[in-house]
A and B are shown apart, each in its own frame.
Chain A
Amino acid sequence: NAGVMQNPRHLVRRRGQEARLRCSPMKGHSHVYWYRQLPEEGLKFMVYLQKENIIDESGMPKERFSAEFPKEGPSILRIQQVVRGDSAAYFCASSPGQGKAGELFFGEGSRLTVL
């Protein structure tokens, strides 16, 4: 039973390029969450998605960041025109529809480095 799968694990981009991070939730899970972890900082909530719907994007920066979870395929976090401050670890988590609120199953993260 595969866990939450994220790819790529490591991504290097130059300033101004685009970064696309993918997340396949755990089998049977229909809720996906993206978190960002800056160096020496705690995990920060970005967005919560269900299939084809954005439920809560209160943590998403207003510009350059977008997320989707299509009917088929993985969830994607897209960062356009990356800047050095976007360098961070991006974690995806999933959960089943019902269960302990907040019991999240995390992937191993995608580490973005912007040169």
Chain B
Amino acid sequence: EAGVAQSPRYKIIEKRQSVAFWCNPISGHATLYWYQQILGQGPKLLIQFQNNGVVDDSQLPKDRFSAERLKGVDSTLKIQPAKLEDSAVYLCASIAFVSSAGDGELFFGEGSRLTVL
């Protein structure tokens, strides 16, 4: 079974430029997440999709970040304009099993490492 695919793996941009990250979840996984992981910290949830609808985007900085999941499969996360503090690894994850106890297994991609200069 193919895992969660993300691209690009690495991106270096100047501040105020824009960047986009792409994620292809595991086939059949309806729920998709984007996390931001700053160096030395745990992942922080940015947005959660269920199929092509947004379930929770309360922690997404909407003045500069946007995300979409057209057709309920692939997803893109965009940052425009980027700030220095956006330097982080952006992780995409998907889940197959939705549980009322919240104990489903998240499958993560390898992440996209962003450096903003």
A binds B: no
